[in-house]
Chains A and B, each alone.
Chain A
């Protein structure tokens, strides 16, 4: 998602969804654990200099985290940015998640939400300023108490120190006085060489809560009088309820109500299991709708035909690709395909809503608070400011929790019940009613000169559009940038390039999936480039190297990964290496995969992955390492196992038996190397994912001479 695109579209979006202007919401804070819950409400604390900092007389520093914590480490990294300037003791920090409110809008896209690997990038300046502002006010309060000039005071470890007398006043003892002072306008921020937290390996602030079962996810929310619901949805995507009989469902022990909602039929019970039993007993006639006979084969044909239609939207045009191909010494062609993928967050979709006389409260593991608020308000007939959004921990997000379906269901059911209701999705619900990573079709033609260097690159992509549903205004002249990202921005020095796109809808809803378009386009582009290297008889690392001479940050990670992986050095018998590189979300990642392929059954084993990342200035190296490992496992799982297939309009996969995940016994050793940089910090949540599929497929080619042009990798094709 580019911020400019989103900014343009935000206005339309707000117009479309909101029933009124968004206002400042004074929400309740949802503390992370029982310990925090027992503490005073942060709003009541005496020193609240800005939206992110609250200091109590007991020295506790409460930081308000306005991005959703879905594992990517924002609770820790955003706290680091504040603490660096606030000079508070790290152990004194506790964190709460922000309510939905204007001041928490993501500077990268103008609405409160977490995505596009933007959290640290967007908050780098605002949070450091917030910390510095609070620190200056505490210093001013101390200088007032001592009757000395501010210049003789400095802050350290949650104390202000009089450098002349060595007297110390704790932040808690200064909180009341500081709270009465005006906020300074301009503050001076530290120079990077003065950093004592940013850049250090700081351990996660949420680790203890996450090792004793205390961290509260959406599915863990318990409210007085809360009922539990599950929803029966049409198994055919896009289908509706024709009629239903609830008699048998209502006879199930614990079932209280059965109610029709926009997405299907909700069964409301005393507990989740009873609701599930009730749902099993429901008799529903479905109106299956236009997708009733849709199959994966038909979708494949739609994409193939889409790629052949005239009038594709041009995503990038340089030179004259037709002439370049005509004049080439040699032409290479290939077609690549990628399947639909489910997000399969470990915590299935869920939400608690309570529509009551005073408004509406929503407790959700969500990535998109502003739209949650507008959505709930519209359903409940309220103004957005009457809706309180309580963000919990997210048991994985990967883009799935930017959607509204789980919130809509909870609000509709609660409105109908007049009670707090938790809607919980089963794994099958989650798998079969997702907004999938788009299936995509990519056709390449390239021309090589007499020395084997590419002179023309033509790439036609056909796939469904995420943005035409999510931010329709951002799709201009049939071009959805998210469909071609990782393809149109090909970094290699090739004189004639044409990348174009044919928006092809299939009837299957698509959404943001970790790294979005890069997830499939990196596989296409980096494997096809590898084909060119092979056709030229050149080493795939050196081939890339030569074509990246004018792309220093690409080159930096490429060289680092190759060097650390021992590119060119001997490997154990039967092992081979593959390399791939992609820049996404402002960061640069190269990965070298070491694999073996079992000659008897074609089974692919990934032994080692060496990853080099340049994400600008390092905020927390522990988090960067974790996110690279995480992104690699996510992409590797998809490459080796992931496919959502359709038959009769239904998703054929339902649970982890037929939508398998990488498990510990298949986990490669992953080494992460960070390029030192003083460039602005950029994304880390997503950029680790795209290069792994092509790195592995290129290694498979090196081992077997077989090109994988369609994911997932199928062992039977490697025998």
Chain B
């Protein structure tokens, strides 16, 4: 029997084993591969999505659990990489291999939606379910604070996710990798 839910603002129906984890429905049935498989046991956070706005590990969430609910994946967080968390991630040059970053970003976005000015302890607490083997934690900490600033300056963007009208296809953009930044590196140059 088909399971219906709202995926990135659009009605979605899938006819799969109801026990199938949402992660694999997204990745293999719907070919929405931005949400990653890391552990299958809710230990690493790579598969984090929002269900009704809550950061949730999709690898241990049977798809039947999301029937009638709103699911947002990294592809639906913004139409054009414009969510403050995404913008801050690019500004602070956070990703390395990038594999865990969808999950990191979804966890960070859920945190800031609830707690717009988190302390470092609150950030660490909210983000400690997300493993990064490249060790990008320091820049993630900085980027979350930067995103909080951006969100405070432009509160409309933070609520983009809640708007009903959301594109479902990623919009092509030119990666903006232009400016050399004045990050202070002691002893450099």
Contact = CB atoms under 8 A, between A and B. Distances in A.
B175 A206 contact: yes
Contacts of B97: 69-71, 345-347, 393-397
Contact of B40 (A347, A427, A674, A675): A427
B55 interface: no
Interface stretch (A499-507, A653-661, A699-707): A653-661
Interface stretch (A106-114, A283-291, A542-550, A630-638): A630-638
A353 B165 CA distance: 39
A582 to B, nearest CB: 18
Interface residues of B, number: 78
A309 interface: no
Contacts of A673: 185-188
Contact of A71 (B81, B134, B174): B134
A415 interface: no
Given A201-B183, A207-B89, A672-B185, A347 B172 contact: no
B170 A201 contact: no
A385 interface: no
A629 interface: yes
Interface in A191-250: 199-217, 219-220, 222, 228
A656 B188 contact: no
Contact of B181 (A72, A203, A220, A272): A203
A297 interface: no
Interface string A264-287: 000000111110000000000000
Contacts of B136: 626, 629-630
Contacts of A655: 39-41, 43
Contacts of A395: 36, 97-100
A601 interface: no
A668 B34 CA distance: 29
Contacts of A165: none
A212 B99 contact: no
B131 A656 contact: yes
Nearest to A560: B187
Contacts of B181: 201, 203, 622
A382 B127 CA distance: 48
Given A272-B27, A346-B46, A217 B99 contact: yes
A665 interface: yes
Nearest to A424: B37
A631 B134 CA distance: 8
A663 interface: yes
Interface residues of A, number: 88
A271 B21 CA distance: 11
Interface string A55-93: 000000000000001111100100000000000001101
Contact of A656 (B44, B99, B101, B189): B44
Contacts of A450: none
A664 B128 contact: yes
Interface string B72-95: 011101100100001001100111
A588 B88 CA distance: 32
Contacts of A208: 81, 90, 173, 175-177
Given A35-B173, A211-B95, A346-B100, A657 B17 contact: no
A346 B96 contact: no
A670 interface: yes
A473 interface: no
Contact of A207 (B95, B102, B140): B95
Given A346-B132, A669-B138, A671-B186, A222 B31 contact: yes
A662 interface: yes
B120 to A, nearest CB: 10
B139 interface: yes
B38 A346 contact: yes
A664 B140 contact: yes
A612 interface: yes
Interface in A612-645: 612, 618, 621-622, 624-626, 629-634
Contacts of A213: 32-35, 73-75, 102, 170
A660 to B, nearest CB: 9
B36 A347 contact: yes
Given A214-B34, A664-B130, A203 B177 contact: yes
B172 A72 contact: no
11 contacts: A71-B96, A73-B96, A208-B175, A208-B176, A213-B32, A213-B74, A253-B17, A272-B24, A395-B36, A622-B93, A630-B135
Interface of A: 34-35, 38, 69-73, 76, 90-91, 93, 199-217, 219-220, 222, 228, 253-254, 270-274, 344-348, 393-398, 424, 426-427, 560, 564, 612, 618, 621-622, 624-626, 629-634, 655-657, 661-665, 667, 669-676
The 4 closest A-B pairs by CB, nearest first: A213-B34, A633-B135, A395-B99, A71-B97
Interface of B: 16-17, 20-21, 24, 27-29, 31-41, 43-44, 46, 73-75, 77-78, 81, 86, 89-90, 93-102, 105, 123-125, 127-141, 170, 172-183, 185-189
